[in-house]
Amino acid sequence: MTRTSFVIVVVLVISSFQMMESSPDLANEVKANIQYNAINCRKHSAVITEFGAVGDGKTSNTKAFKEAITKLAPKAADGGVQLIVPPGKWLTGSFNLTSHFTLFIQKDATILASQDESEYPVVAPLPSYGQGRDAAGPTFASLISGTNLTDVVITGNNGTINGQGKYWWGKYRSGGFKNITRPYTLELMFSKDVQISNITIIDSPAWNIHPVYCTNVIVKGVTILAPIDSPNTDGINPDSCTNTLIEDCFVVSGDDCIAVKSGWDQFGIKVGMPTQQLSIRRLTCISPDSAGIALGSEMSGGIKDVRMEDITLLQTQSAIRIKTAVGRGGYVKDIFARRFTMKTMKYVFWMSGAYNQHPASGYDPKAMPEVTNINYRDMTADNVTQPARLDGFTNDPFTKICMSNINIALAAEPKELLWNCTAISGVSSKVTPKPCSLLPETAPVDCAFPVDKIPVESVVLNKCSA
Ligand SMILES: *[C@@H]1O[C@H](CO)[C@@H](O)[C@H](O)[C@H]1NC(C)=O
Ligand SMILES: *[C@@H]1O[C@H](CO)[C@@H](O)[C@H](O)[C@H]1NC(C)=O
Ligand SMILES: *[C@@H]1O[C@H](CO)[C@@H](O)[C@H](O)[C@H]1NC(C)=O
Ligand SMILES: *[C@@H]1O[C@H](CO)[C@@H](O)[C@H](O)[C@H]1NC(C)=O
Ligand SMILES: *[C@@H]1O[C@H](CO)[C@@H](O)[C@H](O)[C@H]1NC(C)=O
Ligand SMILES: *[C@@H]1O[C@H](CO)[C@@H](O)[C@H](O)[C@H]1NC(C)=O
Ligand SMILES: *[C@@H]1O[C@H](CO)[C@@H](O)[C@H](O)[C@H]1NC(C)=O
Does 274 lie in the same domain as 248?
Answer: no
**How many domains does one find in the chain?**
2
- Protein residues whose CB sits closer than 6 Å to any atom of ligand 3: 147-148, 190
pLDDT of residue 288: 98
23 within a domain of the structure (yes/no) = no
Does 293 lie in the same domain as 441?
Answer: yes
Q: Closest residue (by CA) to atom 7 of ligand 3?
A: 148
Does 224 lie in the same domain as 288?
Answer: no
CA–chain centroid gap for 426, Å, is: 30
Q: What angle do CA 321, 325, 330 make, to 5 degrees?
A: 90
Strands 122-123 and 139-140: antiparallel
127 within a domain of the structure (yes/no) = yes
Residue 198 CA to ligand 1 centre (angstroms)? 6
Does 141 lie in the same domain as 110?
Answer: yes
Report d(CA 110, CA 438) in Å as an integer. 51
Residue that is last in its domain, among 217, 252, 287: 252
Does 47 lie in the same domain as 131?
Answer: yes
Residue 217 CA to ligand 5 centre (angstroms)? 35
32 within a domain of the structure (yes/no) = no
126 within a domain of the structure (yes/no) = yes
What is the 3-state secondary structure of the chain?
Answer: CCHHHHHHHHHHHHHHHHHHHHCHHHHHHHHHCCEEEECCCCCEEEEHHHHCCCCECCCCCHHHHHHHHHHHHHHHHCCCEEEEECCEEEEECCEECCCCEEEEECCCEEEEECCCHHHCCEECCCCCCCCCCCCCCCEECCCEEEECCEEEEEEECCEEEECCCHHHHHHHHCCCCCCCECCCCEEEECCEEEEEECEEEECCCCCCEEEECCEEEEEECCEEECCCCCCCCCCECCECCEEEEEEEEEEECCCCCEEEECCCHHHHHHHCCCEEEEEEEEEEEECCCCEEEEECCCCCCCEEEEEEEEEEEEEECEEEEEECCCCCCCEEEEEEEEEEEEEEEEEEEEEECCCCCCCCCCCCCCCCCEEEEEEEEEEEEEEEEEEEEEECECCECEEEEEEEEEEEEECCCCCCCCEEEECEEEEEEEEECCCCCCCCECCCCCCCCCCCCCHHHHCCCEEEEC
Does 95 lie in the same domain as 217?
Answer: yes
Ligand 4 touching residue 422 (CB < 6 A): no
Helices 24-32, 3-22: axis angle to 10 degrees equals 90
Ligand 5 touching residue 135 (CB < 6 A): no
Does 302 lie in the same domain as 157?
Answer: no
326 within a domain of the structure (yes/no) = yes
Q: Write the CB contacts of 76 (distance below 8 Å, at least 6 apart in sequence).
A: 44, 98, 99, 100, 101
Q: Which residues of 216-225 are buried (b: 16+ CB within 10 A; e: fewer)?
A: bbbbbbbbbb
* pLDDT tens for each residue of the chain, 466 residues long: 445 454 444 444 444 444 444 466 777 888 878 999 999 999 999 999 999 999 999 999 999 999 999 999 999 999 999 999 999 999 999 999 999 999 999 999 999 999 999 999 999 999 999 999 999 999 999 999 999 999 999 999 999 999 999 999 999 999 999 999 999 999 999 999 999 999 999 999 999 999 999 999 999 999 999 999 999 999 999 999 999 999 999 999 999 999 999 999 999 999 999 999 999 999 999 999 999 999 999 999 999 999 999 999 999 999 999 999 999 999 999 999 999 999 999 999 999 999 999 998 899 999 999 999 999 999 999 999 999 999 999 999 999 999 999 999 999 999 999 999 999 999 999 999 999 999 999 999 999 999 999 999 999 999 999 8
Residue that is last in its domain, among 206, 229, 252: 252
Cα dihedral 241→195→229→299 (10° resolution): 0
Does 331 lie in the same domain as 236?
Answer: no
Report d(CA 305, CA 76) in Å as an integer. 34
Contact 214, 237 (CB under 8 A): no
Does 389 lie in the same domain as 276?
Answer: yes
Best mutation site among 34, 35, 36, 153 for ligand 1 pocket (most ligand atoms within 8 Å of CB): 36
pLDDT of residue 32: 79
pLDDT of residue 223: 99
pLDDT of residue 91: 98
Residue 11 CA to ligand 7 centre (angstroms)? 62
Question: How far is it between the farthest Cα atoms of the chain?
Answer: 76
Q: Closest residue (by CA) to atom 9 of ligand 7?
A: 420
pLDDT of residue 360: 85
76 within a domain of the structure (yes/no) = yes
Residue 197 CA to ligand 4 centre (angstroms)? 12
- Residue-range definition of the domain harbouring residue 397: 256-356+365-456
Where on the phi/psi map is residue 35: left (φ > 0), alpha (ψ -120 to 50), or beta? beta
Does 230 lie in the same domain as 96?
Answer: yes
206 within a domain of the structure (yes/no) = yes
Report d(CA 76, CA 69) in Å as an integer. 9
Does 176 lie in the same domain as 110?
Answer: yes
Report d(CA 127, CA 267) in Å as an integer. 7
Q: Closest residue (by CA) to atom 1 of ligand 5?
A: 179
Instruction: Cite the active site residues.
Output: 255
Q: Closest residue (by CA) to atom 2 of ligand 7?
A: 420
Report d(CA 139, CA 130) in Å as an integer. 11
**pTM attached to this predicted model:** 0.94
pLDDT of residue 361: 84
Report d(CA 73, CA 264) in Å as an integer. 34
Report d(CA 218, CA 197) in Å as an integer. 8
Q: What are phi and psi of 403, to 5 degrees?
A: -130, 130
432 within a domain of the structure (yes/no) = yes
The CATH number of whichever domain residue 85 belongs to comes to 2.160.20.10
Report d(CA 201, CA 264) in Å as an integer. 26
